[in-house]
Amino acid sequence: MSLAIGVFDSGIGGLSILQALRAALPRQDFVYVADSGHAPYGERSEAYVIARSRAIVQHLRAAHRIEALVVACNTATAAAIHLLRAEHPDLPIVGVEPALKPALALSKTRRIGVMATRSTLASAKFEALLRPLSSQAEFICQPCDGLADAIEHSMQARENVSDTTELLAICDGHTRAMGTFGTKGGEIDTLVLGCTHYPFVEPQLRELLGPQVQFVSTGEPVARQTRHLLQTTGNAAPARTKAGGGRILLYCTGSPAALQAAARRWLPCEGVVEQLSF
């Protein structure tokens, strides 16, 4: 394996970012870690998420040749990316955050829904992102307790998240709490998926909210930013221009079943998931 990009999340959510990374960098090798033995991050303390993020980056650097890191988790980005950058100044690090600015550019009603974990919404980083934009639109922020966990379990149990009534019920509860969706004045016309797990329930959300609501997620901009960073930091791996790259190694700290099923379905990738014990 040539120089790889390390990617991590609390679970399968980061695969929604890895899909876009792979499309933008088709010959790049990736090493993906799903910290499913310690998930969900969104309902843990900031100190816990920082400790896990540090441990994963240490592991990735010790066990693999990593030329860049993508923190494919909004919750870990909010809690830990500044520390990871300070502790690994030689490593280009890209994070993800709820796409409030792109949503602002799309919304006509100026009412924008934001679905994210409780921890992301409570973070200082999110507050700093939201504050300068809040005079331009109303952002209705919904902490989606239980949703990432339900997506993980659904994938583990049925290898299929497209038709589960439990997921639909959880999505229904959270979207109802945000108010009325639609394109008329006073309605929410744009929904930010501020957790990397949530693109995997976009079909359920569309079913609930109707075709007019616009969804905003972060995979493609993060992939573009990562490609740009690799080009500008001079870390362009020669292997990227040759045939034979594009491998994906998959690891998890919990049961491999969910990641295995999700990788097959969403990437798709047939690689066997290895379990890590830290």
Q: Which of 73, 144, 252, 269 is catalytic?
A: 73
CB-based closest residue to ligand DGL: 42
Minimum distance between the CB of residue 167 and ligand DGL, rounded to whole angstroms?
14
3-state secondary structure string across the chain: CCCEEEEEECCCCCHHHHHHHHHHCCCCEEEEEECHHHCCHHHCCHHHHHHHHHHHHHHHHHHCCEEEEEECCHHHHHHHHHHHHHHCCCCCEEECCCCHHHHHHHCCCCEEEEEECHHHHHCHHHHHHHHHHCCCCEEEEEECCCHHHHHHHHHHHHCCCCCCHHHHHHHHHHHHHHCCECCCCCCECEEEECCCCHHHHHHHHHHHHCCCCEEECCHHHHHHHHHHHHHHCCCCCHHHHCCCCCCEEEEECCCCHHHHHHHHHHCCCCCCCEECCC
Q: For the CB of residue 276, give the shortest distance to ligand DGL in the complex, in Å.
A: 17
Least Cβ distance, residue 43 to ligand DGL (angstroms)? 6
Which residue lies nearer to ligand DGL by CB, 174 or 197? 197
Q: Which CB, 14 or 245, lies closer to ligand DGL?
A: 14
For helices 15-24 and 219-232, give the axis angle rounded to 10 degrees: 50
CB of 230 to ligand DGL, least distance (A): 22
Residue nearer to ligand DGL on the CB measure, 43 or 187: 43
Q: Catalytic one among 141, 195, 252, 269?
A: 195
Give helix 165-178 / helix 202-209 axis angle, nearest 10°: 60
* Active-site residue flag, 171: no
Name the minimum Å distance from CB 258 to ligand DGL: 12
User: Is the CA virtual torsion 66, 72, 75, 81 positive or negative?
Assistant: positive
Active site residue 73: yes
Our CB check for ligand DGL shows the closer of 45 and 232 to be: 45
Kindly list the residues in this chain that would bind ligand DGL in the complex (CB under 6 A).
9-11, 13, 39-42, 73-75, 117, 120, 148, 195-197
- Is 3 or 80 the residue whose CB approaches ligand DGL more closely? 80
- Minimum Å gap between C-beta 44 and ligand DGL is 8
Sequence-distant (≥ 6) Cβ neighbours of residue 220 within 8 angstroms: 20, 24
Measured from the CB atom, the residue of 10 and 253 that comes closer to ligand DGL is: 10
Q: Which residues pair with 111 in a beta bridge?
A: 138
Residue numbers annotated as active site: 73, 195
